[in-house]
Amino acid sequence: MPLLSLPQQTFFLYSQKTLSKFTKALLFLFSKMSTNSNSFQNYPTPLSPPLPSISKDIELARAMTASSKSSVFGLSRSDILYDDEWLIAVNKPQGIYCDSLLASVPRILADPADSDRLSEGNQASPYELHLANRLDRDTSGVMVITKSHKVAAVLVKAFTNHKVQKTYVAFCIGSAPQSERITIKSGHGRSKFGAWRVYAAGDVGRKLPGGSIVRDMETTFEILSINGKRSYKEPSEPMKDEENTIIVEEKAVIDVDAKKDEIFVRAFPRSGRTHQIRLHCQYLGIPIRGDVKYEGVYEWKGRTYDAHELHAESLSFQHPITGFPVLIQAPLPLWASQVLQLVTD
């Protein structure tokens, strides 16, 4: 009997010790899993809706059309808004990709005698061309291209540090705001599905799926006309009006059954986030006409719109070499000119 009981007793004591270590290991693993689970659940929640299902096919068709147009696109002298030995500014058309526009710059900068050889690819451009700013495929307006690495570094830094003032105009459809001037501040980032979304201002700095973080974005809107009423104004530095500042912390409440107005706005983006103006217009309930990605109407008053109506109107900055102030303005596109023809005081 003692010979039999001793191994059983020894085995019991050994198992208890092993189980104790195993239990501690399990508790450690569960705590790590719990921490990871909590951090996943604590990712910021986007406050703007996901992309509408209708946008997928429409955007694909638009992209294919733009690729065809961009492949044969060439700048003309009339597209040049500003030119000196350090940089050139051009008026980008709607439906053209930025990189295609950049590729067409060397030929327009070349001497007439060299232009044919450049077009055939037989001569390298003497310039180190860089896009100082980018515009969405369907956004028209001012684009600045620098002619050397040195100038590019200075001007890109100016954009990053918000030293460049920008104005845009857009035609929106929605319930007209009560205020003539609105400043909206929010977060900006990519959702787990890869789409750009509005986040709460309080979420700025928080981590998103994939490792990026929520960044701040701020836009001031000036209402230029509602249903053809009020007068157009020249671009100006927006006045700060705390009473009309919206700090985004929750989802917008949009009355989908409310009367839809035609609203012509000017936007002053302080930050330069991707799709910033389009996202903020969507949040305010006045999405840009034709902007199907952000709930803009695709059809309006019997007409179908093949692109969104957003135009980069002006850029002003300190010249990266001379230090002199530079203001570059692009002529308004046809859709904006037509709006202004109907505006009354």
Q: Which of 83, 116, 136, 138 is catalytic?
A: 136
β partners of residue 185: 218, 247
β partners of residue 90: 80, 143
Which run of H or E residues covers position 218?
A: strand 215-226
The residue type found at 34 is S
User: Could you give the angle at the alpha carbon of 105 between the alpha carbons of 325 and 125, nearest 5°?
Assistant: 105
Rounded Cα–Cα distance for residues 175 and 223 (Å)? 12
Strands 310-318 and 261-269: unpaired
For residue 240, give the DSSP letter.
P
Rounded Cα–Cα distance for residues 147 and 164 (Å)? 18
Rounded Cα–Cα distance for residues 18 and 85 (Å)? 78
298 Cβ contact list (under 8 Å, min separation 6): 54, 58, 290, 292, 304, 305
What is the residue whose two structure tokens read 């928080």?
206
Q: How many CB atoms lie within 10 A of CB 84?
A: 12
Q: Is 136 part of the annotated catalytic residue set? A: yes
Which of the residues are catalytic?
136
